[in-house]
A and B are shown apart, each in its own frame.
Chain A
C-alpha cells in the first residue's frame, strides 16, 4: 500500500469533482431502530461490487433509544482504517442531526429526513432531503413495522445517488434476511421506493460515485471476534468458560454456534467440548485453569474489567505453570469507562498482570486473519510454555466489519508441548514437576488421569519437585527459571513484520488495529510531505531481538498506539539500552474512536518539525 499514492482531498471541494470509490458514509440513527440490516446491506453490496470496504459501528452502551453511528469506508487503494472526514452523512436521528451536520467539512453530502430541515443549519453542504415517513406508508401498511423498514429506504436512495448496483443490494438483502420471504419483499419495496424517489427528486450534485472493481474476490467480511472463535475451534479448544462483557461476548457466542455445528461427534451425537457461562470472571478464569491443569485446551474471553478480576488467578497460573488462552478484547478506559469504544489500553497491565514478579506472553493481531491465526498459535504457546497466553485484540477489531482474505487451513499439527509420556519418563529417569532438564526453562508436566507420577500444584512456595518450600534458594531458583522460560519464548512468538525503506531516517512502530492507520499515514507522509518512513509492526510480547536491531537502524522511531500513557513504549523501554530509548517518540490517540491516518501523519510531521 505504501507504494501507491493517495488522492489528496481538498477540505472544501467543488461539487463537481468526481471521486470514485474513495469516501466514507456515516449513517446516524437511533440504537435499536433496526438500522443494522440497512447498513450491512449497504456495506455488503459495495463489497460484492469488488470495492474494498470497512464498516465501523459507533454505538452507545445501551439497548435502545440512544444515538448510534455506522461508518462505511469504501477505498479503492484498500485503506480500511477509519477515515477522519465524513463525505456523506445519512441523518436519520433527530437528536443528533444538527450536530452531525455541523461537524461535516464543507462540500459534504447529506441525505436527511426532510422534516429535520438540515438545509437551514448551514448552506455549504449538498443536501438531499427525503420524506421517509411519506415513502414508507404505502409500502408498509403495518404501522408497527414501518420503523424498521424505513431505514432500507436510504439504501435505495444511496443506490441511485452513488451508483451502487440495485441487483447487488437485493442480493445482499436476501443474504441478510435469509428465508424470511415477507421481510425480504417489504425491504425490497423500500429499496425500490428510495431509488425511485432519488431518481425523480434528487438530481446528483455531489461528486461521489462507485464503480465496479475486482479487489474483493475470494475475500470475506467478518467481525474479528468471529475470527478468534474460528481460530479457537480449529485449535481444538475443549473447555471454554466465559462471562458476558462488551466487547468480548460475541467471541464465545459465535464459538458456541460453530462448535455445535462442527464439534459434535457424529457417531454419538455428543460434544467434544464443554462451554460454560460462569458466574463471573473470577470463576471463568478459575475453570479455564482447572481444565488447563487437567490437560484440556482451555480458554476464556473478556475485556478490561474482567482482566482486572482475573489478575489473582493469572498470577497463580504463571507461578504454578498452568496453560490457558485468555482473549482480551480491549475497550476504553479505567473502571467501567466507555464500554462500547475501542482502545489499546491494557497492554502494560496485562503484560505484568497480578502481584509479585510476573510476565505474560501476549499475541497482538492486527487483522481478522491474524485473529484466526494467532488465536490458534496461542493454544500451542500456552501448552509449550505452560502458562497463560493473552490474545490482545480490541473493540474495533472484534466488533467491526473487516474485509479479510479467506482463512487458510492450518498446516501444522498441534504443539502439546512437554507433556510427559511413559517413554519420555523412561528416558528422563528422574522426574520433578519443575526440573529444568532441557535448559530452556520449561519442565515436563503430567496431568491427572494420565497414569504418570502425580504432583501437588500449589501457589505457595515450591521447589523443583513441586514440594512446599519457603527456602530462599528454592524461591529464587524457581523464579529465575520462569524468567529463562520467558526468554525462550522470544524465539517462539510470532515475529514482528518490518518494512525497511532505503534512505529512511525515521521509522514507525505500531501494533494491533493501529496498523491500518499507520500504513495509510506512511503513504500520506510520503506523498504529501516527502517523508519516507520505515515500519515495524509488533505482533507479540516478549519482543524478538529484531526490534532492537530495527531501532538501531533509525534516528527517530515513532511508537504509535491507542492509549494515553504510551504503554507499549513503556514496555519497550524495559528491553532497550538508554541510547535506543532516546530514539523513541510517542504518538498516542485515545478518544475511543479507532485511530485515523490523518491524526498520525499530522502528529509525526509536527514532531519532525520540532526535531529539526
Chain B
C-alpha cells in the first residue's frame, strides 16, 4: 500500500499531503442525503483518511450496492472510479475488480439491509475470502430509501416511527464477520470523529478485508425515542474499547505509553495501532475474546466500539491465488495467448 511521492514541491499556502495533493482533491459530488444523516459524516471521515494517508485517488475504486448508504460513494473521492451495482451484490463486483487489478485499493459502502438481508450470502463469503477491501456498513437499523422499514440489524424491541416493534433478534455483523474469518473487524459511530478516523486509516493500511460497522443514525426514519439506533441512544450506550491511535508507516512518531497501559498492533505495511486505556485482559487478536465481548455488551444493550479483532498478516485471497504482479487487466496478448505449440500439443492429445 505504498504510494510514490511526486517530486513536485507543495503549492505555497495550501495544506497538502505526502503526495502533494490538497484535501479538496479527495472530495466528491454534493450529497443528496438528508441533512444530519450519519452517512455524510462518514463520507467526510473517508475523505480525510485518504488525504491523510496520501493515497493516490486513481488507485482507489469505490463500490456499493443499493440504498441510501450505497449512494454515498458519489460524495467522496471524485477522482476515483466508482461502481454502484445491484442490491446486496457489491462484494462480488469488488472481488472481480480486485482480481482484475491487484494494485487497486477498493472501498465498498453498504447498509444494514444491503449487507444483512439481501446481501447476507455475499457478505458471508466475502468475509471468508479476505479480499483486499474496506467494507463499510453504514448501519442505521432501517431501510431509509424505501421509507423506514425494519432491517436485520434492528435490535429486539426497537420501535419504528409508526409504532411497529421489532420482535426478531438482530444480526451482529461484527460477530458474524469474526466467526467467518474476517481479518479486521471494527465498530464505530458516525459521530465519533476521532475513533472513526483512526479506524479508517488503519483500514487503509490493512492488506485483507476490513469490516467496519458504523452506527449511523437515520435522522428521518429512526432517530426517535424507542429506537436503539438514534443519536441519543448510541451516545448513551457507546462502550468504546479503549482509545485508538493510528500511526502510519511513513510517520516516524514514537508513542510512549506507560507500561501496561497500551496495546500495540503492528500492521502488515509497518503501520502501528495503539489501543490505550484498553481493558488489560483484552487482546484484539483473540477471536474468542472479541466474540465474548460482543455478546456481553449486546446483552447489556450497549455497543462495543473500536478495533474488535485484527489479524494483520494473513495472506489475502489474491496471494493465495498466486497471481502475477502485473494487474491481470493490463496483461498483453503475448502474455495471455499461448503459442501455436501449446494448441498443437492439446490437439495431439485429442487425436
B191 adjacent to chain A (CB < 8 Å): no
The answer to whether A282 and B101 have CB atoms under 8 Å apart is no
A52 adjacent to chain B (CB < 8 Å): no
Taking A236-B336, A290-B100, A468-B74 as contacts, is the C-beta distance between A316 and B347 under 8 angstroms?
no
B79 adjacent to chain A (CB < 8 Å): yes
B85 adjacent to chain A (CB < 8 Å): yes
B333 adjacent to chain A (CB < 8 Å): yes
A290 contacts across to B, CB distance below 8 A? 63, 83, 92-100
The answer to whether B97 and A454 have CB atoms under 8 Å apart is no
The answer to whether B84 and A239 have CB atoms under 8 Å apart is no
B125 adjacent to chain A (CB < 8 Å): yes
A53 to chain B, nearest CB (A): 14
The answer to whether B331 and A236 have CB atoms under 8 Å apart is yes
B155 to chain A, nearest CB (A): 28
Closest to A221 in B: B350
Taking A272-B331, A276-B99 as contacts, is the C-beta distance between A448 and B81 under 8 angstroms?
yes
The answer to whether B330 and A449 have CB atoms under 8 Å apart is yes
Surface stretch bound by A, among B193-201, B242-250, B290-298, B319-327: B319-327
**B343 contacts which of A230, A275, A280, A295 (Cβ < 8 Å)?**
A230
The answer to whether B329 and A238 have CB atoms under 8 Å apart is yes
The answer to whether A263 and B336 have CB atoms under 8 Å apart is yes
A274 adjacent to chain B (CB < 8 Å): yes
Distance between Cα atoms of A276 and B321 in the complex (Å)? 9
A284 contacts across to B, CB distance below 8 A? 92
Closest to A268 in B: B324
A447 contacts across to B, CB distance below 8 A? 81, 329
A297 contacts across to B, CB distance below 8 A? 336
A271 adjacent to chain B (CB < 8 Å): yes
B272 adjacent to chain A (CB < 8 Å): no
A570 adjacent to chain B (CB < 8 Å): no
Distance between Cα atoms of A265 and B323 in the complex (Å)? 9
A521 to chain B, nearest CB (A): 29
Surface stretch bound by B, among A142-150, A160-168, A404-412, A551-559: A404-412
Distance between Cα atoms of A321 and B124 in the complex (Å)? 28
B338 adjacent to chain A (CB < 8 Å): yes
Distance between Cα atoms of A234 and B333 in the complex (Å)? 9
Distance between Cα atoms of A274 and B104 in the complex (Å)? 16
Surface stretch bound by B, among A455-463, A581-589, A603-611: A455-463
**Interface residues in A268-295 (C-beta closer than 8 Å to B):** 268-276, 278-280, 282-295
Distance between Cα atoms of A584 and B231 in the complex (Å)? 68
A316 contacts across to B, CB distance below 8 A? 85-86
Distance between Cα atoms of A258 and B337 in the complex (Å)? 12
Distance between Cα atoms of A224 and B329 in the complex (Å)? 27
Closest to B129 in A: A276
The answer to whether B80 and A273 have CB atoms under 8 Å apart is no
Closest to A372 in B: B343
- Convert A207-231 into 0s and 1s, putting 1 for each residue whose CB lies closer than 8 angstroms to a CB of B: 0000000000011111000000010
The answer to whether B329 and A454 have CB atoms under 8 Å apart is no
The answer to whether A456 and B96 have CB atoms under 8 Å apart is no
B346 adjacent to chain A (CB < 8 Å): yes
**A239 contacts which of B57, B94, B100, B122 (Cβ < 8 Å)?**
B100
A496 adjacent to chain B (CB < 8 Å): no
The answer to whether A449 and B328 have CB atoms under 8 Å apart is no
Distance between Cα atoms of A273 and B318 in the complex (Å)? 11
- Say whether chain B's binding surface is mostly helix, strand, loop, or mixed: helix
Distance between Cα atoms of A239 and B96 in the complex (Å)? 8
**A291 contacts which of B89, B96, B103, B121 (Cβ < 8 Å)?**
B96
A532 adjacent to chain B (CB < 8 Å): no
Closest to B84 in A: A458
The answer to whether A293 and B93 have CB atoms under 8 Å apart is yes
A269 contacts across to B, CB distance below 8 A? 322
A233 adjacent to chain B (CB < 8 Å): yes
The answer to whether A283 and B92 have CB atoms under 8 Å apart is yes
B93 contacts across to A, CB distance below 8 A? 286-287, 289-290, 293
B8 adjacent to chain A (CB < 8 Å): no
The answer to whether A312 and B92 have CB atoms under 8 Å apart is no
B260 adjacent to chain A (CB < 8 Å): no
A414 adjacent to chain B (CB < 8 Å): yes
A448 contacts across to B, CB distance below 8 A? 58, 61, 80-81, 97, 101, 104
The answer to whether B99 and A220 have CB atoms under 8 Å apart is no
B340 adjacent to chain A (CB < 8 Å): yes
**Interface residues in A418-457 (C-beta closer than 8 Å to B):** 446-451, 454-457
**B328 contacts which of A239, A287, A289, A446 (Cβ < 8 Å)?**
A239
The answer to whether A294 and B329 have CB atoms under 8 Å apart is yes
The answer to whether B99 and A274 have CB atoms under 8 Å apart is yes
**A449 contacts which of B86, B329, B335, B347 (Cβ < 8 Å)?**
B329
Of A234, A406, A449, most buried by chain B (CB within 10 Å of CB) is A449
B100 contacts across to A, CB distance below 8 A? 238-239, 290-296, 298
Distance between Cα atoms of A296 and B318 in the complex (Å)? 15
The answer to whether B122 and A283 have CB atoms under 8 Å apart is yes
Distance between Cα atoms of A234 and B338 in the complex (Å)? 6
Taking A220-B347, A456-B82, A460-B84 as contacts, is the C-beta distance between A294 and B97 under 8 angstroms?
yes
B147 contacts across to A, CB distance below 8 A? none
The answer to whether B328 and A274 have CB atoms under 8 Å apart is yes
**Interface residues in B271-327 (C-beta closer than 8 Å to A):** 318, 321-325, 327
The answer to whether A238 and B331 have CB atoms under 8 Å apart is yes
A451 contacts across to B, CB distance below 8 A? 58
A393 adjacent to chain B (CB < 8 Å): no
**B95 contacts which of A270, A276, A293, A457 (Cβ < 8 Å)?**
A276
A468 contacts across to B, CB distance below 8 A? 74
**B96 contacts which of A222, A292, A409 (Cβ < 8 Å)?**
A292
A221 contacts across to B, CB distance below 8 A? 350-351
B325 contacts across to A, CB distance below 8 A? 268, 270
**A287 contacts which of B99, B101, B337, B351 (Cβ < 8 Å)?**
B99
The answer to whether B351 and A272 have CB atoms under 8 Å apart is no
A455 contacts across to B, CB distance below 8 A? 81-82
The answer to whether B83 and A457 have CB atoms under 8 Å apart is yes
A578 adjacent to chain B (CB < 8 Å): no
Taking A236-B336, A270-B323, A290-B94 as contacts, is the C-beta distance between A296 and B99 under 8 angstroms?
yes
**A271 contacts which of B74, B122, B324 (Cβ < 8 Å)?**
B324
Closest to A278 in B: B92
Taking A282-B122, A294-B104 as contacts, is the C-beta distance between A414 and B337 under 8 angstroms?
yes
Distance between Cα atoms of A457 and B81 in the complex (Å)? 8
B59 adjacent to chain A (CB < 8 Å): yes
The answer to whether A271 and B58 have CB atoms under 8 Å apart is no
**B327 contacts which of A236, A262, A283, A449 (Cβ < 8 Å)?**
A449
**B59 contacts which of A235, A449, A456 (Cβ < 8 Å)?**
A449
The answer to whether A406 and B351 have CB atoms under 8 Å apart is yes
A151 adjacent to chain B (CB < 8 Å): no
B342 adjacent to chain A (CB < 8 Å): yes
B296 to chain A, nearest CB (A): 31
The answer to whether B333 and A413 have CB atoms under 8 Å apart is yes
Taking A296-B100, A454-B81 as contacts, is the C-beta distance between A238 and B328 under 8 angstroms?
yes
Closest to B77 in A: A454
Distance between Cα atoms of A220 and B349 in the complex (Å)? 8
A313 adjacent to chain B (CB < 8 Å): yes
Closest to B80 in A: A454
Of B85, B321, B333, most buried by chain A (CB within 10 Å of CB) is B85
A selection of 10 A-B contacts at a CB cut-off of 8 Å is A262-B342, A274-B318, A276-B95, A282-B92, A286-B91, A289-B92, A290-B97, A294-B97, A448-B58, A456-B81
A-B pairs, 8 with minimum CB distance: A290-B96, A286-B92, A236-B336, A295-B329, A296-B100, A287-B96, A294-B100, A220-B350
Binding site for A on B (CB under 8 A): 57-59, 61, 63, 73-74, 78-86, 89, 91-101, 103-104, 121-122, 124-125, 318, 321-325, 327-331, 333, 335-338, 340, 342-343, 346-347, 350-351
Extra 5 A-B pairs, beta carbons < 8 Å, given A262-B338, A268-B325, A294-B96: A235-B337, A268-B324, A270-B324, A282-B89, A456-B73
Binding site for B on A (CB under 8 A): 218-222, 230, 233-239, 241, 258, 262-263, 265, 268-276, 278-280, 282-298, 312-313, 316, 406-407, 409-410, 413-414, 446-451, 454-460, 468
